[in-house]
Structure 1
Amino acid sequence: MPFPHPSHMDINSCWSGSTTILPGSKPFILYTGIDANGRQVQNLAMPKNLSDPLLKEWVKFSGNPVMTPPNGVKVDDFRDPTTAWQGSDGKWRVIIGSQSNNQGMAILYRSKDFIRWTKFQHPLYSSELTGMWECPDFYPVSINGTNGVDTSILNPSVKQVMKASFKSHDYYMIGTYDPQMEKFFPDTEFEGTSLDLRYDYGKFYASKTFFDNVKNRRILWGWINESDSIQDDIDKGWSGVQSIPRQIWLDISGKQLVQWPVEEIETLRSKQASINDKELESGSVFEVSGITASQVDVEVVFELPELEEADELINPDWVDPQLLCNDKNALISSRLGPFGLLALATEDLTEQTAIFFRIFRGHNRYIVLMCSDQSRSSLRKDTDKTTYGAFVDIDPRHEKISLKSLIDHSIIESFGGGGRTCITTRVYPQLATDRAAHLYVFNNGTLSVVISSLNAWSMNNALIVGEESFKV
């Protein structure tokens, strides 16, 4: 989407923003610009020609900026406006990411005409435990199903999600919004610990959602940055990609969100491999053959015949799951686990990225740990090989352990427990590339597990629809 040449209000760059559809199907973009004085300001842009189905050209509002850093906020701590929502009073509301006096916050602005904006007296929400908020998001989710709802919907059938990007991750809270007080009240506050809810526990940042009114769903996009050197980024001429779009909704428990790749991804599937009711004894490694392992969609479900034999985990609420995954990598055995997938692996397994589970016994419950171990992902020495981990909020006594991974050369997006826990990794194998890449199922636990079902599909390249093939 090309903008006109930089103006005085964004002469030093254009940053993140959001689009809001106003009555009459008129889209307006609010975005952050860095002006000639180095201030982060909020600017407005409109389509040049509404009859153009691709909206290729946009015009910047002559009265920009429409918002400037308020008193008490540093000029470089004021950015990333959300999609606006409209209250019952007809006024539009939008939040801007910021911090003041070491409190991360969502500053609230209101407007009758989407041009003249007034800062509300207090933030919609603030926290002393987060630092600067980037790319905030604020939207409703239905408590009655997986369908998304329009951003302006507010009634007893929805909860509100407040999301903020800070400390290199995307955190969120579920709660309620009081439009009279203009306050968000979370069910659980940010704690500044591993217990805080996150969209994704790997490389996934600065995300945004939008409401798809054609299929009644809310779609989430995230930024996956690089894990190799700055010089590599310079050499290839680009850095970072967008995630696969995910549908997002409120879990039936009401305690967290669930994510799953949008159904359109399935149109890219080609060759399929399937495995059913196969026992994986201790030390088993089984190749998934007949597919292109460097570009594959795989879904696997595990059964645990001896669940009660799982190792004990004392005080799981005090354990950082990422540190636990790092200490107990894919090569270290426990009774139930590690078991899962070895992605982008060489035939001799010298290169591999392990996405796996471990099961522990707690006090009157079981704990499911999901890990993504990149420590052997590449023979290269100059790449980030962080191991990621998170707990999965499922009860394996009543639900099988499931994993879906989308593997695309250097990106692995994994969804555990039907999408309750997501981990995205960025890996750069030196040998396990293209046709030299393999996909395995493994079990390094001392107890057997069973592959209840496994389905894997080679994935075709995405079809990029250009202007010449656009059809109304």
Structure 2
Amino acid sequence: MINWIPLEPAIYPTKPFDINGTWSGSATILPGNKPVILYTGIDGAGRQVQNVAFPKDLSDPYLREWTKPDYNPIIFPCGVNASAFRDPTTAWLGPDGLWRVTVGSKRGKRGMAYLYRSKDFVRWTKAKHPLHSSKDTGMWECPDFFPVAPKGRLGLDTSARGNGLKHVLKVSLDLTRFEYYTVGKYDYAKDRYAPDNTSPDNSTGLRFDYGNFYASKTFFDPAKHRRILWGWSNESDRAQNENIKGWSGIQTIPRVLWLDSNQRQVVQWPIDELESLRTKQASIDDKLVKSANYFEVKGIETSQADVEVTFDVSSLEKAENFDPAWTDPQKLCGLKDAEVKGGVGPFGLLVLASAKLEERTAVFFRVFKAQNKHVVLMCQDPKRSSLVPRVYEPTFAGFVDIDIATTKKISLRSLIDNSVVESFGAGGKTCITSRVYPTLAIGPNAHLFVFNNGLEDIKVSELKAWEIRKPLMNGE
């Protein structure tokens, strides 16, 4: 999942049931190790319908050609908004031997995950009740529904069931263009999902990624027993530049996903295979970063790099007071960005930076003192990432569920790849992806700095940074 060979499109408009578009879908492995793709087609009447496609030749290791049976569509928008009915999930097998799949939709302003059942993957029946819904969330795109083990990092097959298992339901919100998810329980008998109510079941809820990350999808990797998450990060550059580049949007680095030990959220980490691209390394240990200071990490090129750093936060005495009204981390990061001096923080990395810091993207933490605890904010601030104004350069942020007063440490990993910065705070509890387009900090002219803009001194207990070689991708 690191080196890729470009192939021809597998599914594209060819039939009356998808002649106006072949949209998002999911793969399911049927008995006998036979893959099938469920996808949304836009038919001649402009309706969103659900279709199936099968590999033309199972002996082809790349499954390059797919056939679409003439009995498509297999699911019609009966009793459903035909203009808001899309993105079927991977199907799962229930204890009664019936397949189930959920399709995203809306009813008025209520987001819906409609449920369908089938014995043969051909004839599908709509369930009386949706799998789940939530008011005032609008259209649910790209839903994802899967089980997670209560302990450990091993992933589960989508059809796995048993006592103690949790489920995750993720939806992509068409209204806001970001995603949120909940952790909860799936009632197999009633075919209903119920969140645990440990986080909001609405647009203010938990996110896999608090940045430029949408339409994500997980799948189960049976070879290494892991659930892998893959997201889409669209361009925020000007349209004419997209035309020059020849693409619009990228896939992020695949991530392993598992349930946190607190069972309130998921944790993510880049797949181990990424480390095969690491080459030249720079290391720094036990280096103090005094208030209003910074230093450069030298010895490697950092336009394409993998950086892991652990910060010691031994004193929290100067932490700023936390206002309970600060419920939106993105707005808080906009209010207190990397330029705003704080008590404990902002401290972190300046990536894709020019030598004189005219351009830089800040990835940082800031610690606040609330009434009975400390609040840790993680931010990515690309407002100074380019000397040329871009279409979309917002600060992105999320709170980090960590007891900093006990740990006295916090870790950060940032994957830097020319126009992409993917960051993982506290071992993957909070993740943020940004798209940036520097004009000076390109190739060998990109620099990496550690900075501290807070009153409290911070120590880098350990930092390791690697150059990342170019993988096989998008080649001839």
Indicate if the aligned counterparts of 2:12 and 2:22 stay in contact, CA closer than 8 A.
Answer: no
How far 1:383 moved relative to its partner? Answer: 3.3
Alignment of 1:217-366 (within 5 A): 217-315=226-324, 318-366=326-374
Task: Please list the CA deviations of residues 248-294 of structure 1 after superposition, one character each: whole Å capped at 9, or x if unmatched.
Answer: 00000000000000000000000000000000001111101111110
Q: Is 2:71 aligned against 1:67? A: no
Secondary structure of the structure 2 residue equivalent to 1:337:
strand
In structure 1, what is the equivalent of residue 405 of structure 2? 397
Do residues 151 (structure 1) and 177 (structure 2) align?
A: no
Q: Which residue of 1 aligns with 2:224?
A: 215
CA-to-aligned-CA distance 1:325-384 (integer Å, 9 cap, x gap): 101111111111110000000111010000001111112211111011111010112331
2:146 and 2:289 map into 1 onto residues whose CA distance is: 43
* 8 Å contact from structure 1 (residues 45, 61) kept in 2: yes
1:59-208 mapped onto 2 (5 Å cutoff): 59-71=67-79, 73-166=80-173, 167-188=176-197, 190-192=200-202, 194=204, 196-208=205-217
**Is residue 57 of structure 1 aligned with residue 47 of structure 2?**
no
Determine if contact 1:13/1:33 at 8 Å carries over to the other structure.
yes
Between stretches 330-339 and 244-253, larger displacement belongs to 330-339
Q: TM-score, normalised on structure 2?
A: 0.95
* 1:424 paired to 2:416: no
State the identity as a percent: 55
Map 1:443-454 → 2, pairs under 5 A: 443-454=452-463
Secondary structure at the aligned position of 2:151 is classed as coil
What is the aligned partner in structure 2 of residue 370 from structure 1? 378
SS in structure 1 of the partner of residue 317 of structure 2: helix
Give the equivalent residue in structure 1 for 2:4: none
The whole-number CA distance in structure 1 between the counterparts of 2:211 and 2:179 is: 10
Give the CA deviation at 1:78. Answer: 0.4
Q: 1:30 aligns with which of 22, 29, 38?
A: 38
Cα distance in 2 for residues equivalent to 1:349 and 1:395: 33
Task: Work out whether residues 110 and 137 of structure 2, in 8 Å CA contact, stay in contact via their aligned partners in 1.
Answer: yes
Structure 1 pair 126–464 and aligned structure 2 pair: CA distance change class (3 A): same
CA RMSD of aligned residues (A): 1.5
The 3-state SS of whatever aligns with 1:9 is coil
What is the CA distance between 1:238 and its match in structure 2?
1.3
Instruction: Kindly state the Cα deviation for residue 420 of structure 1 after the two structures are TM-superposed.
Output: 0.3
Q: 1:49 to 1:403 in 2, by over 3 A?
A: same
What amino acid is the match of 2:16?
H
Partner of 1:3: 11
Distance apart, 1:201 and its partner CA: 0.4
Mapped to 2, the partners of 1:382 and 1:223 lie a distance apart of: 19
Contact 2:230–2:253 (CA<8 Å) still a contact in 1?
A: yes
Cα drift, residue 168 of structure 1: 0.8
Contact 1:383 / 1:428 at 8 angstroms: preserved in 2?
Answer: no
Query: How far did 1:237 drift?
Result: 2.1
What's the CA shift string for 1:100-122, capped at 9, x where partnerless?
Answer: 12211100000000010000011
Q: Deviations over 1:53-73 (max 9, x none)?
A: 2111111012000011121x2
Taking the aligned partners of 1:4 and 1:193, their CA distance within structure 2 comes to: 32
Please say if residues 87 and 93 of structure 1, whose CA atoms lie closer than 8 Å, have aligned partners that are also in contact: yes
| 1:240 to 1:315, Cα distance in 2 relative to 1, 3 A | same
Q: Structure 2 stretches of 5 or more lacking a match?
A: 1-8
- Between 210-219 and 98-107, the greater mean CA deviation after superposition: 98-107
Do the aligned residues in 1 keep the contact of 2:186 with 2:194 (CA within 8 Å)? yes
Give the match's secondary structure for 1:324: helix
CA distance in 2, matches of 1:22, 1:262: 26
Alpha-carbon distance in 2 for matches of 1:357, 1:4: 44
Higher mean C-alpha displacement, 435-444 vs 303-312 = 303-312
- Write the distance in 2 (CA, Å) between the matches of 1:111 and 1:119: 9
Aligned-partner Cα distance in 2 for 1:77–1:360: 42
Deviation at 1:191, TM superposition (A): 4.7
For 1:144 and 1:191, how far apart are their aligned partners in 2? Answer: 23
Shift of 1:464: 4.1
Instruction: Indicate the SS of the match to 2:405.
Output: coil
